[in-house]
Chains A and B, each alone.
Chain A
């Protein structure tokens, strides 16, 4: 589902700093890989490169069979629209849309009929435990609930890849694990490849594999959960 081969990225400076040095990674559908590492090693940059939001200097990234380097900016936007889901640390739920509309947003972008988009968004909200609050405004929700909405939005269009950057960073530990379990459960249920960037060892432990980014390469810390 997601394949990174020989990925190279260098940050400009004197001297230039090698961020990724022939980095390799493969993630299958339904699998979740946690990436850990010290601050500043490039975990978030790796996610951005995978999403086509940051350029890289060499190697190849393939998402659902499409090679990113061949796409221009608009092509990358369309790829993200179809094949990616995102979960952010700061939720990024639009305050002027209802919960159902927030979740339906990726389906709107994919030109799904309005009624179909609404039905699927409500169904997805039901799966994350917010089915009865589909018409509520985001300002009525707690942080944990907002992140559940974000998870529903990330998965509603059945993306090939879900990228989650510190999804539990703004949540208390109890709520964080609950949200994380929900994310993993939905990833598996929808056969999406997931990459989870986190500082939390406890969060990483929930993933199928844990990789540590050190010196520009990924090193397996643990296989299987």
Chain B
């Protein structure tokens, strides 16, 4: 095709400025959302990976255990092995900072080994104003060995020397009852950092820096960490540098038999991969939402191109009559679609980077889900990813144009050039076969039976795509079924609108396809989120039966309660009963994220006082069982294929201990699985008497607030967090809503794109129907009545799209709840359809679509009736 002819095609895009602009925007938004999700997540994972590489240094292998650590006697055993050239023990503490909501990651290191294995973590003594090197603990060269000396990364120092503004989400997690925006004191003052171990504050001297480290990290001598944080004899990790000539696999085979239960060997990169696993399901979910937005954009291109082809039928017939080949015509049209996709894709790539940059500033790198708290990733341009999304945009443009281009190439030139041809050919029709829709639904049902692939519910996502496609293809059949029921309208406008849609049900596909996709997305997400929220709310009601909850810090951090603290709590006036929870994390394998173990007094569980939300099995331990009982979460049951009566082995106290599964419970807090055991069994196996949470029942007539106040005074308000169940519930639901904020945003974008579809379709339809409107004006319809006719048609078309979208959305919601959520997150939920909200949403959308259609058709209405009937159709 020569340049002039190419210009003829591409110039058509400029003539249809509104339709072209909306198609561009739709594709740009789809590309931007998908790219932003990937960029944000990629940057967070990169940042996490950098941290992992820094901490691992030159280590070839890492010995890792539970978060609580493992016995340090393993260290000399490994260090003396011939496969190991150097071994560096690490004790990692998430130090709670009293009075503040953040925490500091302190690495206890053997400073004589650090140089060999993790040189990036080597601390450096720094003399500061008013304090010389000797003040840092005697001889400057040995200052790093002083047990109370702490060395901070530049990031940590900058943050901890500043007051901290209370963040609502953090506050919710900590339950300190502080108001959002309140300032908390600096953690480092006059060169000393205040940290918390148990319920006790301890002062650590900030003696210098760790030049090679970034993020919120501090380094201390390992003995000091063990001593201050009461972890004598414990290690979190041993980093191994292998001897020359020893392959990783060989070393793993040789060393693995030496490891106690619950301790694993892995390559350092596995930690980053574990972080990726943690957030993968969430990331894939968001990417799928973005893909649906892009799909809606593709539908929009389809609608506008099909209508443009209808309008330009005579132009194409003329070109064909003048000698343009069929193939060249098709290529010209496909080039139009590709150009729309390319420009939309480029806009999307730019917008995606801007969105990612904005998200880093607003919600950090975790997209609101809390997977990467504490990381400060920065936006990085990824040319390969950007190119991939750009190509997706081009593909949406080309695929959206494919059917219309075929339609145009089929036009017989002589016939299309005849006067009155429009009456004979009628309106643009998308050729669809209702049976295909049935077939696709059948395939969707089959896809739901597929097991997850690598933890990703591929079958579920395929089912979503198939249901969407089936809904679009079923639209004409739905129109044929529904429209006869609406035949009874008496007004002429209703009759005209009804007759038009009844005569051309397939036209509804052109206008309604985008609406179906976006409505189905919004409806399915609304049903899923509503079901999830209602289930979480009920679950919170069940798991928070006490009057008051006390904790020293989150389970991962260094605050904890001990039996003496428990006795103090029990002795407070007004406290009727106390129950305790110990939460530790176990390592079940070298590839899985950590597994949660909860230890609680089982008698209370047996009596149902803890309100364990069981979905299977019994609250009572099986009588006569030789093994102790455990109650596992749904995620644990799914991942480890457990049913009541199964035996489940857990690495506790350095050995594998079997438990018989007494029941399965619903747990929305721990995605990677949890097991609950009797605290007496736990103490017997580990000797660990620490407690994370205490639930308090107050005596009748006692105000829980007064008990809370007494506890704060007794332990120091900076050392404990006390919360009422109502507060925990409200804050948990607030976190829930924040987590889903980004999905609401994506739904809104998809709806917007769907409305664009209605607007462009009706703008184009109105233009092609100027002759019809002119004739109706001749017959006595007023301008207002023509406007109402267009609005009515828009509302009817959107109504069909919304109806199909509601049905498809219901089906997709079922897939989301029963397949995708079950396979991604392993939790069940009760179906809760927000009927009222859906009704208001559907009605609003239909009314809005009517308004948008009328607005879009305004140009055609304004044309003189005289001019309109002069133009040949």
Do B420 and A114 touch across chains, with their CB atoms under 8 A apart?
A: no
Q: How many angstroms between the C-alpha atoms of A170 and B421 in the bound complex?
A: 12
Size bracket of the A interface = 35 or more
Least CB separation from A165: chain B residue? B869
Closest B residue by C-beta to A106:
B779
Report yes or no: A96 in contact with B781, Cβ–Cβ below 8 A: no
| Segment at the B interface, from A10-18, A35-43, A71-79, A198-206 | A71-79
Knowing A96-B426, A138-B423 are in contact, say whether A77-B500 is a contact too (CB < 8 A): no
Tell yes or no: B486 within 8 A of A by CB: no
As a 0/1 sequence over residues 418 to 429 of chain B, the CB contacts with chain A under 8 angstroms (1 = contact) are: 011011111100
- Are the C-beta atoms of A106 and B780 separated by less than 8 Å? yes
The complex places the Cα of A96 from the Cα of B772 at a distance, in Å, of 11
Say yes or no for B872: interface residue by CB 8 A criterion: yes
Q: Give the interface size class of chain B.
A: 35 or more
Q: Are A139 and B423 in contact (CB under 8 A)?
A: yes
- The answer on a CB contact under 8 Å between A90 and B419 is yes
Q: Which of A60-68, A80-88, A120-128, A178-186 contacts B (4 or more CB under 8 A)?
A: A80-88
Given contacts A54-B866, A90-B872, contact A97 B777 (CB under 8 A): no
C-alpha spacing A92/B778, complex, angstroms: 11
Do the beta carbons of B779 and A109 come within 8 Å of each other? yes
A104 nearest CB neighbor, chain B only: B495
Asked if residues B503 and A77 are in contact (CB atoms below 8 Å), the reply is no
- B775 CB–A CB distance under 8 Å: yes
B476 interface residue per 8 A CB criterion: no
Contact (Cβ within 8 A) B782 A73: yes
B780 and A84 contacting across the interface, CB-CB below 8 Å: yes
Q: Are A92 and B771 in contact (CB under 8 A)?
A: yes
Question: Is A74 touching B869 in the complex (CB atoms < 8 A)?
Answer: no
Q: How far is the CA of A73 from the CA of B495 in the complex (A)?
A: 24
* Per-position binary interface string of chain B over residues 500-511, scored 1 when its CB falls under 8 Å from any chain A CB and 0 otherwise: 101110000000
Q: Are A146 and B423 in contact (CB under 8 A)?
A: yes
The reply to whether B779 and A139 form a contact with Cβ atoms under 8 Å apart is no
Is A220 interfacial (CB-CB < 8 Å)?
Answer: no
Contact B778–A86 (Cβ < 8 Å): yes
Bound-complex Cα distance A138 to B503 (A): 12
Question: Is B641 an interface residue, CB under 8 A from the partner?
Answer: no
Are A90 and B783 touching (Cβ within 8 A)? no
Chain A residue numbers with a CB within 8 Å of B873 are 90, 92
Chain B residues in 8 Å Cβ range of A82? 780
Known: A93-B423, A95-B503, A170-B420. A78 touches B866 (CB 8 A): no
0/1 interface trace, chain B 785-799, chain A, CB 8 Å (1 if under): 100000000000000
- In the complex, what's the smallest C-beta–C-beta distance from A159 to chain B, in angstroms? 10
Give the residue among B425, B775, B783 with the most A Cβ atoms within 10 A: B775
* Given A90-B419, A94-B772: A139 and B424 interface contact (C-beta under 8 Å): yes
Do A109 and B420 touch across chains, with their CB atoms under 8 A apart?
no
Query: Given A73-B783, A139-B425, A143-B419, do A96 and B778 touch, yes or no (CB 8 Å)?
Result: no
Cβ contacts under 8 Å, B869 to chain A: 88, 90, 92
Please name all residues of chain A whose beta carbon is closer than 8 Å to the beta carbon of B721 when the two chains form the complex.
none
Bound together, the chains give a CA A139 to CA B778 distance in angstroms of 22
Neighbouring B residues of A191 by C-beta, 8 Å: none
Instruction: Please report the C-alpha to C-alpha distance between residue A161 and residue B19 in the assembled complex, in whole angstroms.
Output: 41
Contact A74-B782, Cβ < 8 Å, known A90-B771, A143-B420: yes
A54 to B781, CA, bound (A): 16
B810 to chain A, nearest CB (A): 31
* A53 and B778 in contact, given A92-B772, A139-B423 (Cβ under 8 angstroms): yes
Question: Which of A53, A137, A146 has a CB less than 8 Å from the CB of B866?
Answer: A53
Cβ distance B520 to chain A, nearest Cβ, rounded Å: 28
State which of A73, A90, A93, A96 has its C-beta within 8 Å of the C-beta of B504: A96
Tell me, in angstroms, the Cα distance from A88 to B504 when the chains sit together. Answer: 25
Q: Answer yes or no: B499 CB below 8 A from chain A CBs.
A: yes
B784 CB-CB contact with A under 8 Å = yes
Q: Does B780 lie within 8 Å of A96, measured CB to CB? A: no
* Docked pose: A86 CA to B865 CA in angstroms: 13
B492 within 8 A of A: yes
Q: Mark B346-357, 1 if CB is under 8 A from A, else 0.
A: 000000000000
Within 8 A of B (CB), among A96-140: 96-97, 101, 105-106, 108-109, 111, 114, 137-139
Assess whether A91 is interfacial by the CB under 8 Å rule: yes
Q: Which residue of A lies closest to B487 (CB)?
A: A114
| Chain B CB within 8 A of A160 CB | no
Of the candidates A96, A101, A109, which one forms a contact with B427 in the assembled complex, judged by CB atoms under 8 Å apart? Answer: A96
A3 contacts partner chain B, Cβ-Cβ < 8 Å: no
Give the docked Cα–Cα distance between A57 and B55 (Å): 90
- The A/B interface has a contact count, at CB < 8 Å, of 103
Check: A152 CB closer than 8 A to any chain B CB.
no
A51 in contact (CB, < 8 A): yes
Complex: A133 Cα to B538 Cα, angstroms: 65
Query: Does B17 interact with chain A (Cβ within 8 Å)?
Result: no
Residues of A within 8 A of B15 (CB): none
CA distance A143 to B424 in the complex (A): 10
Closest A residue by C-beta to B418: A143
Q: How far does the Cβ of A156 sit from chain B's closest Cβ, in whole Å?
A: 11
B490 at the interface (CB under 8 A from A): yes
> Is A97 in contact with B499, judged by CB distance below 8 angstroms?
yes
Q: In the complex, which residues of chain A have a beta carbon less than 8 angstroms from the beta carbon of B865?
A: 53
Given A51-B778, A114-B490, A90-B420 contact (CB < 8 Å): yes
Nearest-CB residue, chain A, relative to B869? A88
CB distance from B502 to the nearest CB of A (A): 8
CB distance from B715 to the nearest CB of A (A): 78
Give chain B nearest CB distance to A186 CB in angstroms. Answer: 17
Interface contact A108-B492, CB-CB below 8 Å? yes
Nearest-neighbour CB distance to chain B for A169, whole angstroms, equals 9
Q: Hey, what's the 0/1 contact readout for A33-59 against B, CB within 8 Å counting as 1?
A: 000000000001000100101100000
Instruction: Given the known inter-chain contacts A90-B419, A143-B419, please indicate yes or no for A96 contacting B779, CB distance below 8 A.
Output: no
Question: Which chain B positions have C-beta within 8 A of A81?
Answer: 779-781
Kindly list chain B residues whose C-beta atoms are within 8 Å of the C-beta of A54. Answer: 866
Chain A residues closer than 8 Å to B420, beta-carbon distance: 90-91, 143, 146, 170
Task: Report A-chain residues with C-beta under 8 Å of the C-beta of B785.
Answer: 77
Question: What separation, in Å, do the CA atoms of A137 and B424 have in the docked complex?
Answer: 9
- A73: shortest Cβ distance to chain B, in Å? 7
B424: which A residues are within 8 A, CB to CB? 95, 138-139
Docked complex Cα distance between A48 and B869 (Å): 11
Known: A53-B777, A143-B419. A109 touches B499 (CB 8 A): no
Minimum Cβ distance to chain A for residue B500 (Å): 4
The residue from A73, A86, A97, A111 contacting B503, defined by CB atoms under 8 A apart: A97
Contact (Cβ within 8 A) A95 B492: no
Q: In the complex, A102 Cα to B492 Cα: how many Å?
A: 12
Contacts of B872 in A (CB 8 A): 90
Contacts of A138 in B (CB 8 A): 423-424
Q: Which of B749-780 contact A (CB under 8 A)?
A: 771-772, 774-775, 777-780
Closest A residue by C-beta to B492: A108
Q: Which of A54, A77, A93, A105 has the most CB of B within 10 A?
A: A77
With known contacts A48-B866, A96-B503, A109–B780 Cβ distance under 8 A: yes
Residue with the greatest number of chain A CB neighbours at <10 A, chosen from B496, B778, B781: B778
Q: Give, as a whole number of angstroms, the nearest-CB distance from B792 to chain A.
A: 14
Say whether A77 contacts B780, CB under 8 Å.
yes
Q: A48 — which chain B residues lie within 8 A by C-beta? A: 866
For the complex of A and B, 8 pairs with smallest distance between CB atoms: A81-B780, A96-B503, A92-B775, A108-B492, A80-B780, A77-B782, A139-B424, A96-B500
Other than A91-B420, A96-B502, give 4 A-B pairs with Cβ distance below 8 A: A94-B500, A95-B424, A96-B503, A108-B495
| Sample of 13 A–B contacts (CB below 8 Å) | A53-B865, A73-B783, A77-B782, A80-B778, A80-B779, A86-B775, A90-B419, A90-B420, A92-B869, A108-B496, A138-B423, A139-B423, A146-B420
A-side residues, CB < 8 A to B, are: 44, 48, 51, 53-54, 73-74, 77-82, 84, 86, 88, 90-97, 101, 105-106, 108-109, 111, 114, 137-139, 141, 143, 146, 170
